[in-house]
Amino acid sequence: MIVITGAGGFIGSNILYHLNQKGLKRIILCDENFKKNNINKREYLKIVKPNKLIDYMETKTKIIDAVIHMGANSSTTEKNLKKIYSQNTRFSKNLWNWCSKNKVRLIYASSAAIYGDGQSGFDDNDPISIFKPLNYYGWTKYFFDRYAINQADKDHSPPQWVGLRFFNVYGPNEYHKGQMQSVVAHSYNQYVNEGKVKLFKSHNKNYKHGYQKRDFIAVSDCVSIILWILENPKISGIFNCGTGEARTFKDLVLAMYTSLKTEPKIKYVNMPENIKKQYQYYTKAEMKKIQKAGYKIKFTKLEEGVRDYITKYLSINSQRRHK
C-alpha cells in the first residue's frame, strides 16, 4: 500500500495516474481540499484528511510500503510564518518520525526555493547551511531538509528516504493553483484572454527583458524520477529534480506560440514591488548526483514538453470552457 499526500494537487495527482497505469491501486490519498477533476477515473482505496493521517496510518502499519509526501502550502508569497511552518515543516517531521518508527519508506517534496537567489549555486551535494531562501516557503523546505539530514546522520530515518528539490514544474492538473501555476499555463491563459503574453521586465543589468532563466521540468519527468526511486529502495538522500538546463522565459513563450502556429506577441511589464527582492533571475539544477546514483532517463526538451501540454491539455480544456 502507498500513501500519497497532496494527492489531489498538481504533482500528487500525476503520481496517482502513473501508479494506476502501472497497475497499482492500493493507494491512500491525503489532501485538505481535493480537486475532483484531478482524481476523476483514478483508482484508490480511501481519502484521508491531513489531520487524521497519522492516526489512520497507525491502523495500517503492517501494510504501508511507502509514503509519497507531496502535500504543502506552496505559496511563495505567504506572510504567515506560523501557518506555513505548521503545514510544511511540522507536518513533514511528523511523517518522518512515523516512517522511521514503522520502517516505512518516505519520498518527500523539497524545493529549489532552498537555493535562494542562486549565488551559492544549485548543487544538491553542497551543505545546506550555505543556502539562504528568499521567502517563508523556501525556509520551511530548508528547515525540513536540515532536519532530515540531521536525523539520518543520527540513524533515525526511514529505511529509504528521498527529498526531491523540484525546480520549475509544468504540466496537466495545475489549473487550481491560481497565481502559482507554471509560466506555461499563465502564458497560454494570457494568450487566450488577451491575445498576447506578458513577461516581467528585468531589473538586473545582467539580464535583458525576457532572458531571465529557469530550469523548467515537465511533471511527467518528475514522476519518472519518483517511480525510479520506488524501484530502487537502497537509494536515499536529497536530489535535485530538474533537467540540468536553464532556458529563458522568452524561449518558453516562443515555444508556446510555435505549438499554436501563431505569430508571437510579447509585452514586457514592470515587476510587482512585493516580489522584486525575492525574484530569482537564474536557476539550473545540478543533476550529477542522481545520474551517478543510476538515473539515466533523458528529460523532455522544453519545446516538446510545452507543445504536448498545450495541444493535449490546455487547448482542449480551453475549447471545453468556451463551448
pLDDT greater than 80 at residue 13: yes
Give me the percent of the chain exceeding a pLDDT of 90: 88
Helix (H, G, I), strand (E, B), or coil: what is residue 122? coil
pLDDT tens digits along 229-267: 999 999 999 999 999 999 999 999 999 999 999 999 999
* Cα–Cα nearest to 38, from 185, 229, 177, 222: 177
**115 near 57, Cβ under 8 Å?**
no
* Structural domains in the chain plus CATH codes: 2-168+216-241 (3.40.50.720), 178-214+245-281+301-317 (3.90.25.10)
d(CA 84, CA 78): 7
Please compute the mean of the pLDDT values over residues 177-192 and round it to a whole number.
93
Residue with the three cell numbers 501555476: 181
When comparing pLDDT for 316 and 283, which is higher? Answer: 283
Is residue 53 within 8 Å of residue 104, measured between CB atoms?
no
**Chain centre to alpha carbon of residue 246:** 17
Is the pLDDT higher at 269 or at 278?
269
42-62 mean pLDDT = 96
pLDDT tens profile 198-234:
999 999 999 999 999 999 999 999 999 999 999 999 9
d(CA 288, CA 292): 6
319 has pLDDT over 60: no
Cα 231 to Cα 16, 149, 226: the distances in Å are 16, 22, 9
Question: For residue 322, is pLDDT > 70?
Answer: no
**Averaged pLDDT of the chain:** 94
List Cβ neighbours of 184 (8 Å cut-off, separation of 6 or more): 170, 216, 252, 256, 306, 309, 310, 314
Residue 113 has pLDDT above 90, yes or no: yes
pLDDT at residue 153 tops 80: yes
Quote the CA–CA distance of 256 and 134 in Å, as a whole number: 29
| pLDDT band for position 312 (cuts 50, 70, 90) | very high
CA distances from 188 to 31, 70, 234, 249, 313 (A): 28, 26, 41, 13, 11
User: Measured on CA atoms in the order 190, 206, 74, 226, is the torsion positive or negative?
Assistant: positive
Residue 239 CA to residue 298 CA, distance in Å, equals 16
Cα(77)–Cα(51) distance, rounded to whole angstroms?
24
Q: How confident is the model at residue 274 (pLDDT cuts 50, 70, 90)?
A: confident
Question: Known catalytic residues?
Answer: 137, 177
pLDDT confidence band for 318 (50 / 70 / 90): low
Measured CA to CA, the distance from residue 174 to residue 193 in angstroms comes to 18
Q: What was the pLDDT predicted at 245?
A: 98
Long-range contacts of 194-199 (CB under 8 A, 24+ apart): 195/265, 196/265, 196/266, 196/267, 197/253, 197/256, 197/264, 197/265, 197/266, 197/267, 198/266, 198/267, 198/268, 198/269, 199/249, 199/250, 199/253, 199/266, 199/267, 199/268, 199/269
Reported as a single tens digit per residue, the pLDDT across 118-140 is: 999 999 999 999 999 999 999 99
Residue 320 confidence (pLDDT) above 60: no
What does the pLDDT look like over 20-41, one tens digit per residue?
999 999 999 999 887 778 898 9
Asked if residue 321 has pLDDT above 90, the reply is: no
Local confidence band at 317 (pLDDT 50, 70, 90 cut-offs): low
Q: What percent helix, strand, coil does the chain show, rounded to 5?
A: 45, 15, 40
Reply yes or no on whether the pLDDT at 323 is more than 50: no
pLDDT tens digits, residue range 93-110? Answer: 999 999 999 999 999 999
- Cβ(76)–Cβ(113) under 8 Å? yes
* Parallel/antiparallel/unpaired status of strands 237-241 and 161-166: parallel
Q: Is 80 a residue whose pLDDT tops 90? A: yes
